[in-house]
Chains A and B, each alone.
Chain A
Amino acid sequence: MTALSKEENRLIRLDRMRYTKNSLSSSLTYLAILFDVLYFVSIYESDVGNWYYNHVIGISVVYNLLFMLIAFLSSEGVKNYKLSYSVVLLALGAGQIARIFYLPMRALSETITRMDPATKQKVTVSIMEKPQFTWVVVCLAVSALCCFAAGAIGVYRSRTLAAYQATLDEQAA
């Protein structure tokens, strides 16, 4: 086969989208799910008595499940260049950012008093130490970033493919 010009390459890249999946967006979404898992594994590991065990933790658990379900469905949607799923991913990204200011921030700023088993004295401790806080924020931020990137790429590619398909339909008509 002969060497292709830049324009030919661009057109072939466009045409290829008709037969190949948007695997980049899909993979980024899986990455977002992975970092969400790292987040919730980390946030529940603190031994802070029963501070977590109220409606906050309930909402958090339910949200994690919903996030994973919706993100997984969206990964399949964006794989097939569905614009609506790309928008959903952008919304999920925004949600991940918002979560930073909900549970981690509260846990960082609050303290509890408990009995130290070694000294048998009451001590005041932070719900979440700084290193753990940094880690969970990084996890949520990366998860959000992946969602934004997957959504943005999905929107761009879906629109590009739709425009190209419209051109082809026009030519065929």
Chain B
Amino acid sequence: MANISLQHLDKIYDNNVQAVFDFNLEVKDGEFIVLVGPSGCGKSTTLRMIAGLEDISAGRLLLDGEDITAAPAKDRDMAMVFQNYALYGHMTVYENMAFSLTLRKEDPNVIHRKVLAAAEILGLTDQLNKKPKQLSGGQRQRVAMGRAIVRNPKVFLFDEPLSNLDAKLRGATRREILLLHKRMNATMLYVTHDQTEALTLADRIVCMSMGHVQQVGTPLELYETPANLFVASFIGLPPMNFFNVTIRNGQAVNKYFTVALTDAEKQLLATYEGKEVTLGVRPENIATGGDVQVKVFSNENLGMSTLVHGRLCGEHAADAAITCKLRGWCDYKAGDTVNVLFEKRHFFDKETTNAIR
């Protein structure tokens, strides 16, 4: 398969709008990379630059050490799967999957073997004589993947392939993509705005915002040690709670609570004595039984846990909203007061928004 090297990639459109800024990434052979970020962050543009569907304004793109920055899409040996499947409605599944190889004038018998092998992998053997309109959304997306597989490309590119599917089908197709990656051990780049897809599929995640790479790391790294406020707020569901606190005498203090810092935190925040920082706490890192008082607004039981939405005692300031994911089944009523503690805390510099490490 393939190693990809993206070096200082920029994308500037004709109207001088810059969509991607200094994108750097080394993708190892067989790696599953997920580009994640909100709409308009430049992730699809980056993928399209890799595919050759968008010109690269600056920087270099290497595939196995070979510079393919200016190479046309057809010469890049990459296959792309689109959100809208892009299947030919008048062709059967078999013909759709065989189409690119037929255009290359490959031996029909070889094409046949490749199509059957791909159909076997994707569980489409019984659907080969059907037209796309006779298939479900998930099956259509599998056909689109099959069309990519038969080409045996060096790199697979997925541009939000599950966005058109309903939640149940999305989960099933996601598992199929994961199995496909394990089976083929191919280099794959996958674009999504759905953090669940990113966390479950990726070997490494590239988190993007406003055209800039915010953090590159394994799903666990992004979850456990977010590089900045953006990554901390984007990764994790429900999102992390943030509070402005002042570091004073080994404590994080604001008008709602005072939290005693651990020795490690004191060391980390030594240079911030008397300064304001942002304290981040994931809802699942909040437990009952501390000094922080939360006035409950609503209570959502999820079975194994309960989502409690509230505000830090009686205040209505914007920074006082809090979401707690408490273990077990809780039956709080609106107006109840719950005492909670923050089990694991993240601190961010107020000015740079970077994590304090």
Which residues of A come within 8 Å of B, CB atoms?
1, 4, 9, 12-13, 15-16, 18-20
Q: Are B128 and A19 in contact (CB under 8 A)?
A: yes
Q: A16-B108, A19-B129 are in contact. Are A1 and B113 (CB under 8 A)?
A: yes
B85-113: CB near A (< 8 Å → 1, else 0) gives 00000001011000000000000111011
- A13 proximity list for chain B (CB < 8 A): 108-109
Q: Are A12 and B109 in contact (CB under 8 A)?
A: yes
Q: Are A19 and B113 in contact (CB under 8 A)?
A: no
- B129 proximity list for chain A (CB < 8 A): 18-19
Q: Are B114 and A20 in contact (CB under 8 A)?
A: no
What 9 additional pairs, Cβ within 8 angstroms, besides A1-B110, A15-B112, A19-B112? A4-B109, A12-B109, A12-B113, A13-B108, A15-B116, A16-B109, A16-B112, A20-B94, A20-B95
- B108 proximity list for chain A (CB < 8 A): 13, 16, 20
- Report the separation of the CA atoms of residues A19 and B112 in the bound assembly, to the nearest whole angstrom: 9
- A18 proximity list for chain B (CB < 8 A): 129
- Report the separation of the CA atoms of residues A9 and B92 in the bound assembly, to the nearest whole angstrom: 23
- B115 proximity list for chain A (CB < 8 A): 19
- Report the separation of the CA atoms of residues A1 and B115 in the bound assembly, to the nearest whole angstrom: 12
Greatest chain B CB density within 10 A among A1, A9, A15 is at: A1
- A20 proximity list for chain B (CB < 8 A): 94-95, 108
Give the interface residue-count category, chain B.
Answer: 10 to 19
Q: Is the interface of B mostly helix, strand, loop or mixed?
A: helix
- B112 proximity list for chain A (CB < 8 A): 12, 15-16, 19
- Report the separation of the CA atoms of residues A12 and B107 in the bound assembly, to the nearest whole angstrom: 11
Q: A19-B92, A20-B94 are in contact. Are A9 and B109 (CB under 8 A)?
A: yes
Q: Kindly list the 6 A-B residue pairs having the minimum CB-CB distance in the complex, ordered from nearest.
A: A19-B94, A12-B109, A16-B112, A19-B128, A12-B112, A9-B109
Q: Which residue of B lies closest to A10 (CB)?
A: B109
- Report the separation of the CA atoms of residues A168 and B128 in the bound assembly, to the nearest whole angstrom: 16
- Report the separation of the CA atoms of residues A19 and B108 in the bound assembly, to the nearest whole angstrom: 12
B62-98: CB near A (< 8 Å → 1, else 0) gives 0000000000000000000000000000001011000
Q: Which B residues, 118 to 149, have Cβ-Cβ distances below 8 Å to chain A?
A: 128-129
21 A-B pairs with C-beta separation under 8 A: A1-B110, A1-B113, A1-B114, A4-B109, A9-B109, A12-B109, A12-B112, A12-B113, A15-B112, A15-B116, A16-B108, A16-B109, A16-B112, A18-B129, A19-B94, A19-B95, A19-B112, A19-B128, A19-B129, A20-B94, A20-B108
- Report the separation of the CA atoms of residues A13 and B92 in the bound assembly, to the nearest whole angstrom: 18
Q: Which residue of A lies closest to B97 (CB)?
A: A19
- Report the separation of the CA atoms of residues A18 and B113 in the bound assembly, to the nearest whole angstrom: 13
- B95 proximity list for chain A (CB < 8 A): 19-20
| Shortest Cβ distance from residue B119 to the other chain A in the assembled complex, whole angstroms | 10
Q: Which residue of B lies closest to A8 (CB)?
A: B109
- A4 proximity list for chain B (CB < 8 A): 109
- Report the separation of the CA atoms of residues A15 and B92 in the bound assembly, to the nearest whole angstrom: 16
Q: Which residue of A lies closest to B116 (CB)?
A: A15
- B128 proximity list for chain A (CB < 8 A): 19
Greatest chain A CB density within 10 A among B95, B113, B115 is at: B113
- B109 proximity list for chain A (CB < 8 A): 4, 9, 12-13, 16
| Shortest Cβ distance from residue B112 to the other chain A in the assembled complex, whole angstroms | 5
- B94 proximity list for chain A (CB < 8 A): 19-20
Greatest chain B CB density within 10 A among A4, A12, A15, A19 is at: A19
| Shortest Cβ distance from residue A15 to the other chain B in the assembled complex, whole angstroms | 7
- Report the separation of the CA atoms of residues A20 and B113 in the bound assembly, to the nearest whole angstrom: 13
| Shortest Cβ distance from residue B102 to the other chain A in the assembled complex, whole angstroms | 10
- Report the separation of the CA atoms of residues A16 and B108 in the bound assembly, to the nearest whole angstrom: 8
